Amino acid sequence: MPRGEEDIVTEIDRADLLQQFASDNYAGICPEAWAAMEAANHGHVSSYGDDPWTVKASNAFRELFETECEVFFAFNGTAANSLALASLCQSYHGVICCNSAHVETDECGAPEFFSNGSKLLVAECEDGKLTPNSIHEIATKRQDIHFPKPHAVTITQSTETGRVYSLAELRAISEVCRTHGLYLHMDGARFANACASLACSPAEMTWKSGIDVLCFGGTKNGMAIGEAVLFFDRKLAIDFDYRCKQAGQLASKMRFLAAPWVGLLENGAWLRNAAHANMCARYFAEQIAGIPNVKIASRIDANAVFLLAPEEVLAGLRKRGWKFYTFIGGAARFMFAWDTDLVRIDALSRDLREVAEEFSTVSSPSAVSAA
């Protein structure tokens, strides 16, 4: 007899299934992506992207971005970013990025690996944002043959620190890129959250602002797996299909990477999902306002909230079962997803208030100020 869903779920500790806000990739698959996967699970179609779902998804991107871009589907963001950057560079080139960029801190050297050595040229940034000045500085610092030649810039939208570049900031960056002959790549693992935050069109935030290549994140937006790579300058996409195949990123049953995009893009679920996540971040910030010794570390532009709190308070939260990371941005990070339940935010806020109040009554004033 086949095991039912209930049997499998009861084998897992139910406490492990409660919503957590450590990352937006803790969430499951949204109904629209799930339904499209199910719809794609009928009959036989050709493999390796030669199927109607891949065509439909690619066209959905072209319609959404109002341009005839080249579209590719990769399994994850590390591959999408690394292969996109590799396509912009020779091995002796350099890619300017921010010190907190995912390509620098969380991709295990994959951009250098897939580009056969293009070096990341890291700028010290505030708020996780590159500035035209920092790009200019790195682009002009060394012009000699002993240093990698800067050839591309990568920015993350929204940033690893939960901030969003304004259209004016993007345009200023692309202007300095043009001046120095640098291609501009956007890591859009949370592209949808940035779009919802700025209330601008995807076209305005990308090619109309000078972005050459975008990695559009599906995983954190409600898919099981998958990122799309969009080339707005179609010349840059030449042979990218070979690059994906060689890197192990060509799905043979491509329709299951492509179909969920149809579900997300067709009726605007991508933007609704992101808007909900962003709203939840603001809601959390409102719920925890005024808690002693707990400070919101940076402006909330998208779906992240970073908290500064004494180590004892964070430990107290962990003891109550809450999961979160502190290695990003030097603060405790809470990320909200398409499915975030306000009731869980209320529970987290209540726990945070209780542990913080306990701490402030037991701790001496000097301990508080030291924290």
Ligand X SMILES: *Cc1c(COP(=O)(O)O)cnc(C)c1O
Q: Give me the residues that bind ligand X (CB under 6 A), please.
A: 76-78, 81, 102, 156, 160, 187, 189, 219-220
Choice between 56 and 333, CB closer to ligand X: 333
Residue type, 177: C
- 121 pairs with which residues across the strands? 96
Instruction: List the one residue out of 17, 79, 104, 96 whose CA is nearest residue 218.
Output: 79
Tokens of 279: 């709203």
Q: How far is the CB of 359 from ligand X (least distance, A)?
A: 31
Task: Say which residue the tokens 């560079």 belong to.
Answer: 89
Residue 73 and residue 57 in contact, taking contact as beta carbons nearer than 8 Å: yes
Instruction: List the one residue out of 204, 205, 213, 209 whose CA is nearest residue 232.
Output: 213
Q: How far is the CB of 247 from ligand X (least distance, A)?
A: 13
Choice between 216 and 359, CB closer to ligand X: 216
State the Cα–Cα distance between residues 223 and 226, nearest whole angstrom. Answer: 7
State the Cα–Cα distance between residues 85 and 79, nearest whole angstrom. Answer: 10
Choice between 76 and 363, CB closer to ligand X: 76
Choice between 81 and 363, CB closer to ligand X: 81
H helix runs in 106-156, sequence order: 110-114, 132-141
Q: How far is the CB of 138 from ligand X (least distance, A)?
A: 20
Write out the DSSP string of 27-63. S---HHHHHHHHHHSSS---STT-SHHHHHHHHHHHH
Q: How far is the CB of 201 from ligand X (least distance, A)?
A: 22
Choice between 209 and 249, CB closer to ligand X: 249
Q: How far is the CB of 335 from ligand X (least distance, A)?
A: 9
Choice between 49 and 218, CB closer to ligand X: 218
Instruction: List the one residue out of 366, 349, 338 whose CA is nearest residue 27.
Output: 338
Choice between 169 and 187, CB closer to ligand X: 187
Residues 6+ apart with CB under 8 A from 371: 293, 309, 310, 311, 312, 363
Q: How far is the CB of 357 from ligand X (least distance, A)?
A: 33
Q: How far is the CB of 43 from ligand X (least distance, A)?
A: 30
Q: How far is the CB of 189 from ligand X (least distance, A)?
A: 3
Sign of CA dihedral 192, 195, 199, 205: negative
Choice between 257 and 291, CB closer to ligand X: 257
Residue type, 196: A
State the Cα–Cα distance between residues 371 and 366, nearest whole angstrom. Answer: 9
Residues 6+ apart with CB under 8 A from 312: 355, 359, 363, 371
Q: What is the dihedral of CA 8, 14, 17, 18, to 10 degrees?
A: 160
B/e letters for 169-199, b = 16+ CB within 10 Å, e = fewer, are: bbebbbebbeeeebbbbbbbbbbbbbbbbbe
Choice between 49 and 77, CB closer to ligand X: 77
Q: How far is the CB of 114 from ligand X (least distance, A)?
A: 12
